[in-house]
Structure formats: structure tokens, C-alpha cells
Chain A
Amino acid sequence: MTQVLTNFVRALRASNVRVSTAESIDAAATVDVIGFSDRGLLKESLSQVLAKSPDDKERFAECFDRYFFADDLRGIDTADGDDLEPDAPSADASNSEPQHAGEQGTEPGSALASLMTGANRAELQIAVANAAREAGVADIRLFTQRGMYMRRILEILGVEALENEISNADEARQALLGALRAQLIAEVREQVERQLLLYTANTWPDLREEILQKVPLSAVEVRDFKFMQGLVHKLAKRLVALHSRKRKVARRGHLDVRQTIRRNIEYDGLMFDTVWKRKKIDRPKVIAVCDVSGSVANAARFLLLFLYSVTEVIPKVRAFAFSNQLAEITDLFQASSAQDAISAALHKHGWGSTDYGRALADLEKMVLDDVDHRTTVLILGDGRSNYGDPGVTHLRKIHERARRVLWLNPEPRAFWNSGDSEMRRLGSACDRVDSCRSIQDLERLVSEIMRTAV
């Protein structure tokens, strides 16, 4: 029973439900109380003990159905040795089968053959399930292991004896046994497939997520867009959790003795009105500018998505987009959902040819009054100005006033300053220039910005 439960917990973890050791102990206690025979009740109560969010509950339900189909409840009770189900005797007989199969195998008419000719599919299934358990099929991780586990299960079932019997038998029996063997193999394959599905349900998305985090933004393929958006959103959410907490901490503090004494003079120095030391909260202002021209179009989608997420984290963000003309998209971001806002921004301002000179001049005109020592200016772009004036003088003016200017470039460093890229000149007017090629880079950089900005 414990084995069944621990395997189930493992299957749950494989399908991305986080289950701690303490919770699996709870699950065991729950099973003690509830028992195995009422399936609906078992599912409901285990779901309450093991799955702790609506998402988890959904995954739990799926996994439960798959697992307890694969591992028939009847089989579990027999493994316990005390079963009240009507067909317990037959199950018990098959239970002991695998152990004896090997010994009896030398005689003609092996146990396996008789089990198969018995033509009771349920019995055969139970025997296969038990052999699978013995073979440790729960450890399966990769689809390439399928063959190995199938072989192992077949061996435990005593397929060797069956083979001998087939080669020794007369023709008619040979044909019959051959057909039965094919049926058996199909049964075993099905069993292994089910287990593989159960224990590896989630390894593929995990792997995909891991790879996509490192893929350059410009190289993301269209079919992965949706998945990437999920990733970016996840990242932004994590940052929100991290930094909203910081703002709260700032409200606490120690007693400010000097202030307290001063304020309580009017009460004859009795400490009536306490004053607490406060950490000064720096209200950061972020001005984010995103290049959405044709050359960075692919990356721009994610940069915009990220920008959108950032507006949710930091209250005062002004967002701009440009290809040759600069336009403020803050209102657009506030009014509509991420999806709509991004496609609207790309549609309205995107796909043109870049003119950094014009865009930065516009930026100076539009925001210079708003830039002060608390402002972080964040520019996302490739710095390719089609051999036009890159507008360094405008950027420098902003740089002089701003707390800092950061430039994130979606191109790798080796490509900078080649062709029409003006990164060296533009970089001279920035506090920091960094290559931001993948989601991973983005997370690292933004986390750094937040740490110092918030």
C-alpha cells in the first residue's frame, strides 16, 4: 500500500504538482482513514491533502485517473493480502505467478502459457501489472528505455519458458501460442507506455522551458510565441512578488528616539506619541523606450511584453515605442490586455526603418522635463540607425539629468559597431550597455535594475 502511494506521489511530482514529504505522510494518514475501496471518496480526499491550488487540483485529477487506471485498485488490495472483492482468489493465484514461473518453465505447458490460454484478460493484466511493479517500471524516465523495461517484464513473466515451449510444440499449438505471445507483448507494451506517460508527463515542457530561456529572442519561432509569453509573464510575476514585498518592509522600523522626544515635549516629555524610523522609499521613475523597427521586430514582441509586465511592477513607468517616430504607449498599456496592447503597438509604430536621431530628439522633447535624479531610462534596441545621425547629443542631455541610462541590445556583443550599428557612440552616453539576448538575460538584468531602483 505504501509502495502504491509513494509511486503515486512520484507520478504527481512528474506532472508538476509539488508534493512535500510531509504531505505524502498526510496522504498515508488519509488513506488509513478513508481506505482504498471508495474511489470517488479517495480521489476527493487525496486531492484535498496533496493538491493545494486550483491548477494543482486539475493536474491531480488527471494524474489520479491515469495512475489508478494503470494500477487497478483491485490489484492493490490483493497486494495487501486482505481483500473482500469477489474475484480475489483468482487475483491471488496470479499474484504468486511470477515467482513460480521461472521454476515451472522447464516443463512443457509453462505457467505463463496456461495463464494465457486461460483466456481471462483481467488475470493476464494483473499478472503483467505485478511483473511491471517487480521490474521497477516506475523508474522509467526516457522513451528510449521502453524496450529494456518491456524485456525485463517479459522475463519476469517467464517468457523464456514460453519460447522454449513454442519451439518444442507441434505446429497447431505453435501457431496458437505464437498468437498469444503477440497478445502478451502488446499487453506489456501498453503497460509500459502507460507508465511512461505517467512518470514523464511533464519532463517535456520542462525541457522546452529550459531551452527556450536560453534561445535568443530574435530566433524564437512562431510556434513558440505563446509558450514564451507564458515564460515572460512568469518572470514578471516573480519580480512583482520580490519587489512588492520590499516596498512593504520600508514601512517598518525602529523607534526614532530623537524625534519622539522632540514631539513629546508638549506632553512634559511623557512618551505619548511615538515616532518610528522610516526607511525612505525611493519612488523610482522608469522611462522605457522600445525599438520596434523591422530589424528587431522579432525581439520587440517580447521586449514589449516585458515592458508591459514591468508597468505592473513599478507604478511610474512611461513607455515609448518608435521605429522612426517616437510615440508614448503608456496609456495603451494601461487600457488593454497584454496581447492587445502589444499587437496594437506593433501595428501602429512597428516595422518601419529606424531613425535613432529623430527618435531620441523626440524623446528629449517629450520627457526631458520629467527626467530627474530618480529617473531610470531604459532603452531597448539594436542601435542600428541606417547610417543616419544616431542622435547621441540628445541622449547625452537626458543622461546628464537622469539617475542612469541603460541600454539593452538584443544583438550579441560581437555584432556591435559593425555596419550601421552605432553602439560605441550611443554607449558613451549611457551608464551601462548590455547584451540582452534571451529570457534568462532579461531576468538577470531587470532584477539588477530593480534591486537598485526600488
Chain B
Amino acid sequence: MNPSSSSEISRAAIDAIQAGLAATGYICGDSIATAVYLAQALEKPVLIEGPPGVGKTELAKATADHLGKPLIRLQCYEGLDEAKALYEWKYGKQLLYTQVLKEKLGDLMEGASGLQASMDRLHEFDDTFFNEEFLEPRPLLKALWTEQGAVLLIDEIDKSDQEFEAFLLELLQDYQISIPEIGTVKAKHSPVVFLTSNNTREIGDALKRRCIHLYIPFPDSRLEQQIIESRVPELEASVRLQIVSFVQQLRTVDLKKVPAVSETIDWARTLLLLHAQELDPQLVRTTMNILLKFQDDIENIDAEIVGMTRAAVGAR
């Protein structure tokens, strides 16, 4: 293989992904596009970490849009188990069928003399009730069954138990899962898998090893402006600059919860609604509750609003 031409090819592919994601309204830097590209090239899941609200979940949605594949989402929570994540037998249907088939069973048994013969007859049919017909697919199995491949989003993996994390290993490594009664189910087409984590607990090494690790930090000022531009296009450029500059300042202060990108977008929408032409301290103060979600934070920041606003208005 020619090293520099492979670099050019992958660079082009990454640029294409970046443009494709931008077309769905998701503006991202090189690193995110690289991760999406690698995920497809190496057929490996991507573990996305980063502070809340930087667009981890959004990335999966945008990728699904971009690739034109269905998005299958599994929200993790404490106590999530296989029955809810993978598959469940349709007990009701099984029961109903046995009732209906009861008489048929009598017919089948007719003529069989002795217990052994009846058992042999039964053995001929024993797998009837444990086949895919009676399987209720949950998100993970659905992702494997999807014909043209899917985008699987396993959201907030850190909220699930460690047991569930271990259970995911087989799926993430080989894109297959074992169902005791049926056997191994292999993916028809490898899905693109995203796992997100807010780092409320440390993710196990075994899982990390199987994934490409992508850390999404808060965007820098330029990128955040592009994001706002794509999401709130009606907003004037000067106000956009001021908004972003203000939020960037806010992130450097010690707060219980710093404003995320989604909050910046909300704030931009709010200011648009209020027909704001320029930030001023009074306006900021009244709309502060959109950026900050803790009363303590709002009170702590109050004294600094004037200075920050002035700096934001002066920003170029």
C-alpha cells in the first residue's frame, strides 16, 4: 500500500464525513470526524466521553442521518439487564400457542405406544417454541438484525451496572451475541456503535480496550460560533460573537455546572426572541437562568456579570 496516498484517501473521506455531518446540522472538528471514519474503517465501537451537553448523543443521531441508517438507541440505567437490552421470549404467545395446539398434540401422540415412543415424537417438535418467531427483539438484537446495518447508540453506559458492561463485551468485539436456546446470532451487517459516558464511574478497562476512545471537550470559540450559526441562523453575527465570548468566559469560572453547548443554543434562541441587538448587563441578568441551572451559581456570578458583558461586547 502506498502510505501517502492512503493518507490522502482517508483525509478526503474524513472531510466528506465532516461535510456530511454539517449538512445534518452537526458542526464538528477534525477529531470527531476522524473517530467516525475510524469506526467504519476498523469496524470498532466508539466510546464518547466528555462533559454533559457537548453533543455526544447528538453525534450518533447526526451520523445515522448522514449514513442514512436507522438509529437504534439503548438508554442505560441502573438495573438494566439482558431481558430489556437484548431479547425476551414472548411468553404470552408461547402460552397461547400451547393452549391452541393442545388438541393437535393429542392427535400427534395417537398411536404412540409407551412413554418412550411419545417422548421421541415430542422431541421431533421441541424447538418449535424456541425459535425466532417467539423472540421479542430489544435494541441490541434489533441492531444486529437490521438488514443494511444500523447506528446503535448505547447511551450513558456509566449508569448501567458492571455486569451489564461485561455482557456487552461479546457484542462489541464480534458483533454477535449468544442466545442459549438458539445459538449465536451474528450481525448481518456490522452496525456503527456509539457508547456515551458522563464518567460518573470509571468504565472498565476491558470495555475501553475494545473501543475507539473519543473525548469531546467544550468547543472553542470559533467552532461554537459555527454551531450557533447553523442552529440559530437568524441571529445576527455580532450578537452571536458576543454570546459565544460570554459563555466562553463563563466556563472559566468555578461553577457547579458550567453551561454546555445546548445551553448556549437555548440562550441564543432566547435572545433572538427578545430581539436583542447587543448584550447588556440587565439583559444578561434576566436571562441568566437559561445558562445556569443552580441558584447558587447565578448568585455567585452576579457580581461579575458587568465585567464579563463588557469584555464580551468588546470581543472581536
Q: Does any Cβ of A come within 8 Å of B221's Cβ?
A: no
User: What separation, in Å, do the CA atoms of A30 and B4 have in the docked complex?
Assistant: 14
- Which A residues touch B47, using CB under 8 A? 52
- Which B residues touch A84, using CB under 8 A? 2, 4
The distance from the CB of B215 to the nearest CB of chain A, in whole angstroms, is: 6
User: What separation, in Å, do the CA atoms of A18 and B38 have in the docked complex?
Assistant: 21
Q: Is the CB of B205 within 8 A of A33?
A: no
Q: Is the CB of B162 within 8 A of A33?
A: no
- Which B residues touch A82, using CB under 8 A? 2-3
Known: A29-B42, A44-B30, A49-B212. A35 touches B161 (CB 8 A): no
Question: Which of A20, A41, A45, A57 is packed against the most chain B CB atoms within 10 Å?
Answer: A45
Q: Is the CB of B38 within 8 A of A41?
A: no
- Which B residues touch A32, using CB under 8 A? 1, 6
Known: A32-B1, A44-B31. A52 touches B208 (CB 8 A): yes
- Which B residues touch A41, using CB under 8 A? 7, 10-11, 14, 30, 34
User: What separation, in Å, do the CA atoms of A54 and B217 have in the docked complex?
Assistant: 10
Q: Which residue of B lies closest to A18 (CB)?
A: B205
The distance from the CB of A56 to the nearest CB of chain B, in whole angstroms, is: 8
Q: Does any Cβ of B come within 8 Å of A51's Cβ?
A: yes
Q: Is the CB of B1 within 8 A of A30?
A: no
Known: A48-B38, A77-B3. A35 touches B209 (CB 8 A): no
- Which B residues touch A186, using CB under 8 A? none
Q: 1/0 per residue A42-74: CB within 8 Å of B?
A: 101100110111100100000000000000000
- Which B residues touch A107, using CB under 8 A? none
Q: Does any Cβ of B come within 8 Å of A87's Cβ?
A: no
Q: Which residue of B5, B208, B213, B215 contacts A35 across the interface (Cβ within 8 Å)?
A: B5
The distance from the CB of A50 to the nearest CB of chain B, in whole angstroms, is: 9
- Which A residues touch B208, using CB under 8 A? 52-53
Q: Is the CB of B42 within 8 A of A48?
A: no
Q: Does any Cβ of B come within 8 Å of A38's Cβ?
A: yes
Known: A35-B4, A54-B215. A30 touches B38 (CB 8 A): yes
Q: Does any Cβ of B come within 8 Å of A256's Cβ?
A: no
Known: A20-B209, A33-B42, A35-B10. A48 touches B34 (CB 8 A): yes
Residues 178-236 of B contacting A (Cβ, < 8 Å): 202, 205, 208-215
User: What separation, in Å, do the CA atoms of A54 and B203 have in the docked complex?
Assistant: 13
Q: Is the CB of B212 within 8 A of A248?
A: no
- Which B residues touch A147, using CB under 8 A? none
- Which A residues touch B205, using CB under 8 A? 18
Q: Does any Cβ of A come within 8 Å of B44's Cβ?
A: yes
User: What separation, in Å, do the CA atoms of A53 and B204 have in the docked complex?
Assistant: 11
- Which A residues touch B31, using CB under 8 A? 44, 48
Q: Is the CB of A48 within 8 A of B7?
A: no
Q: Is the CB of A40 within 8 A of B3?
A: no
Residues 1-28 of A contacting B (Cβ, < 8 Å): 18, 20, 22-23, 26
- Which B residues touch A80, using CB under 8 A? 3
Q: Is the CB of B34 within 8 A of A35?
A: no
User: What separation, in Å, do the CA atoms of A38 and B4 have in the docked complex?
Assistant: 8
- Which B residues touch A23, using CB under 8 A? 209
The distance from the CB of A52 to the nearest CB of chain B, in whole angstroms, is: 4
Q: Is the CB of A34 within 8 A of B209?
A: no
Q: How large is the interface on B (under 10, 10 to 19, 20 to 34, 35 or more residues)?
A: 20 to 34
Q: Which residue of B7, B161, B202, B215 contacts A248 across the interface (Cβ within 8 Å)?
A: B161
User: What separation, in Å, do the CA atoms of A38 and B5 have in the docked complex?
Assistant: 10
Q: Is the CB of A40 within 8 A of B4?
A: no
Question: Which of A35, A38, A241, A245 is packed against the most chain B CB atoms within 10 Å?
Answer: A35
Known: A32-B1, A82-B3, A241-B202. A38 touches B34 (CB 8 A): no
Q: Is the CB of A33 within 8 A of B10?
A: yes
The distance from the CB of B25 to the nearest CB of chain A, in whole angstroms, is: 23
Q: Is the CB of B38 within 8 A of A33?
A: yes
The distance from the CB of A51 to the nearest CB of chain B, in whole angstroms, is: 7
Known: A33-B42, A48-B35. A57 touches B215 (CB 8 A): yes
Q: Does any Cβ of B come within 8 Å of A37's Cβ?
A: yes
User: What separation, in Å, do the CA atoms of A80 and B49 have in the docked complex?
Assistant: 36
The distance from the CB of A22 to the nearest CB of chain B, in whole angstroms, is: 6
Residues 222-280 of B contacting A (Cβ, < 8 Å): none
Q: Is the CB of B213 within 8 A of A53?
A: yes
Q: Does any Cβ of A come within 8 Å of B96's Cβ?
A: no
Q: Does any Cβ of B come within 8 Å of A36's Cβ?
A: yes
User: What separation, in Å, do the CA atoms of A48 and B5 have in the docked complex?
Assistant: 22
Q: Which residue of B lies closest to A32 (CB)?
A: B1
Q: Does any Cβ of A come within 8 Å of B115's Cβ?
A: no
Known: A41-B10, A45-B38, A248-B161. A52 touches B2 (CB 8 A): no
Q: Is the CB of B215 within 8 A of A36?
A: no
Q: 1/0 per residue B7-48: CB within 8 Å of A?
A: 110110010000000000000001100110010011010010
The distance from the CB of A83 to the nearest CB of chain B, in whole angstroms, is: 8
The distance from the CB of A34 to the nearest CB of chain B, in whole angstroms, is: 5
Q: Is the CB of A245 within 8 A of B7?
A: no
User: What separation, in Å, do the CA atoms of A53 and B208 have in the docked complex?
Assistant: 9
User: What separation, in Å, do the CA atoms of A45 and B210 have in the docked complex?
Assistant: 15
User: What separation, in Å, do the CA atoms of A53 and B205 have in the docked complex?
Assistant: 10
Q: Is the CB of A37 within 8 A of B4?
A: yes
Q: Which residue of A lies closest to B5 (CB)?
A: A35
Residues 219-245 of A contacting B (Cβ, < 8 Å): 241, 245
The distance from the CB of A143 to the nearest CB of chain B, in whole angstroms, is: 32
User: What separation, in Å, do the CA atoms of A450 and B5 have in the docked complex?
Assistant: 59
User: What separation, in Å, do the CA atoms of A45 and B47 have in the docked complex?
Assistant: 14
Question: Which of B14, B211, B213 is packed against the most chain A CB atoms within 10 Å?
Answer: B213
Q: Which residue of A38, A49, A241, A248 contacts B11 across the interface (Cβ within 8 Å)?
A: A38
Known: A20-B209, A53-B213, A54-B215. A44 touches B34 (CB 8 A): yes
Residues 62-115 of B contacting A (Cβ, < 8 Å): none
Q: Is the CB of B42 within 8 A of A34?
A: no
User: What separation, in Å, do the CA atoms of A48 and B48 have in the docked complex?
Assistant: 10
Across chains A and B, which 7 residue pairs bring their CB atoms closest together, nearest first? A35-B7, A35-B6, A37-B4, A38-B7, A52-B213, A35-B3, A52-B208
Q: A30-B38, A48-B31 are in contact. List 18 more A-B contacts (CB 8 A).
A: A18-B205, A22-B210, A32-B1, A33-B6, A33-B41, A35-B4, A36-B4, A37-B4, A38-B11, A41-B7, A44-B31, A44-B34, A49-B42, A49-B212, A52-B209, A57-B213, A84-B2, A84-B4
13 residue pairs A–B, Cβ–Cβ below 8 Å = A22-B209, A22-B210, A23-B209, A32-B1, A35-B3, A35-B5, A35-B10, A45-B34, A48-B213, A54-B215, A84-B4, A241-B202, A245-B162
Which residues of B are at the interface with A, using a C-beta cutoff of 8 A?
1-8, 10-11, 14, 30-31, 34-35, 38, 41-42, 44, 47, 49, 161-162, 202, 205, 208-215
